[in-house]
Amino acid sequence: MRVLVTGGAGYIGSHTTLALLQAGHEVLVVDDLSNASEESLRRVAALAGRTPAFIQANVRDEAALDAAFEGFTPDAVIHFAGWKAVGESTQIPLTYYRENLGSTFTLLEAMAKHDCHRIVFSSSATVYGEMSEPPFTEDAPTGATNPYGRTKHMIEQILADAVAADPGLAVGVLRYFNPIGAHSSGRIGEDPKGIPNNLLPFVAQVAAGRRDKLMVFGDDYPTPDGTGTRDYIHVVDLATGHLAALDKLADRSGYHVWNLGTGRPTSVLEIVGAFEKASGITVPYEIAPRRAGDVASSYAHPGKANAELGWSATHTIDEMCADTFRWQSANPNGYADA
């Protein structure tokens, strides 16, 4: 199949591009490299033994997208491209709305124009917020508490409206829990710019000596050890979830939502312990106040994806930490070392 991947040079996009190539699909990546490096695609090509086509463009660029569809004639689209930092989204909300909503409009219009009817969208478990108790099923109430989350929630609704107007459209909304880890080769991984917001990149940089210590945001949550629990999922499992969703949408039009998670909650302190075990390095930490906007616990009920997609996450927390450590050790400054 021919798959156009927006944001394909980024963290999840690069791992999914690799999985697509390894499964024998043709891939065109459209990425403006605003938060990614072309080096990730060079490494994907080396790992796959095949080079994905690449166009450097913002997905909101109608002319560029039109040319991409015209030249590549995709059978399906995976839409990763988007701005993703919660804190930043509260500072520059209009940028988030413009980029995340605008790219989706441009993409859906290009798909309609070029007779492409299948799209998988990167949504987030953030849409479950604190409206119900985990484990979250796909029919749990949804909403959002910050501009980033609102863009994800709005795009889900926009996609549902697009399907209502065009029942031939096949939409798969994938609600990611917490992607961590890296490809087992250590060649591709997460390369955050500046100070990492997310737990694993921060822990990895503490272990690498780039940062003094981890701040553990809150130890007074109603969880077994008081620290927040999340459903961490290996990025390679996440990638294979996209392939499973694309396959399912080949014989099933309409609007479908699937959680991609393991169903298992892991606390911040459990992550620290697992990372120390995987790396052999002590990770100094300090208990700090809760971070604004954080929920105590978030984890998936992955049963719908398991049953409908024939997919399940297979990697353990220990493997996720070992792969993160391998990537971080081999690339202390991410792709900038290349």
Query: CB of 130: closest distance to ligand UDP in angstroms?
Result: 12
Alpha helices in 49-146 (DSSP H): 62-72, 86-91, 93-96, 102-113
Nearer to ligand UDP among residue 97 and residue 285 (C-beta): 285
59-78 binders of ligand UDP (CB under 6 A): none
Local structure of 204: helix, strand or coil: helix
Query: CB of 91: closest distance to ligand UDP in angstroms?
Result: 17
Query: CB of 105: closest distance to ligand UDP in angstroms?
Result: 26
Nearer to ligand UDP among residue 69 and residue 325 (C-beta): 325
Q: How many residues bind ligand UDP (CB under 6 A)?
A: 14
Query: CB of 217: closest distance to ligand UDP in angstroms?
Result: 4
Local structure of 232: helix, strand or coil: strand
Q: Please count the other Cβ atoms lying within 10 Å of the Cβ belonging to residue 174.
A: 23
Of residues 96, 128, 148, 232, which has the active-site annotation?
A: 148
Stretch 10-49: interaction string toward ligand UDP, x if CB under 6 A? ----------------------------------------
Looking up tokens 């990770």, which residue turns up?
283
Query: CB of 216: closest distance to ligand UDP in angstroms?
Result: 4
Nearer to ligand UDP among residue 288 and residue 338 (C-beta): 288
Query: CB of 228: closest distance to ligand UDP in angstroms?
Result: 3
Nearer to ligand UDP among residue 72 and residue 202 (C-beta): 202
Gap between the Cα atoms of 273 and 318, Å rounded: 10
Contact 146, 100 (CB under 8 A): no
Dihedral, CA of residue 148, residue 53, residue 180 and residue 201, to nearest 10: -80
Structure-block tokens of residue 200:
């694993």
Q: Which stretch binds ligand UDP (CB under 6 A): 1-9, 32-40, 192-200, 249-257?
A: 192-200
Nearer to ligand UDP among residue 239 and residue 268 (C-beta): 268
Q: Among 232, 227, 202, which Cα is nearest to 216's?
A: 227
Whether 148 is a known active-site residue: answer yes
Q: Among 320, 331, 14, which Cα is nearest to 180's?
A: 320
- 321, with CB counted inside 10 A (0-12, 13-18, 19+), is buried
277-296 binders of ligand UDP (CB under 6 A): 291, 294
Structure-block tokens of residue 44:
């994907």
Query: CB of 148: closest distance to ligand UDP in angstroms?
Result: 10
Coarse DSSP helix, strand, coil percentages of the chain, rounded to the nearest 5 percent: 45, 20, 40
Q: Among 202, 320, 214, which Cα is nearest to 266's?
A: 320
Q: Which stretch binds ligand UDP (CB under 6 A): 46-54, 57-65, 193-201, 326-334?
A: 193-201
195-254 binders of ligand UDP (CB under 6 A): 197-199, 202, 214-217, 228, 230
Please give the helix or strand (H or E) that residue 150 lies within, else none: helix 147-165
Contact 5, 57 (CB under 8 A): no
Contacts of 139 (CB under 8 A, 6+ apart): none
Nearer to ligand UDP among residue 89 and residue 106 (C-beta): 89
When asked if residue 178 is in the footprint of ligand UDP (CB under 6 A), the reply is yes
Nearer to ligand UDP among residue 54 and residue 202 (C-beta): 202
Which residues contact ligand UDP by CB under 6 A?
178, 197-199, 202, 214-217, 228, 230, 268, 291, 294
| Active site amino acids | 148
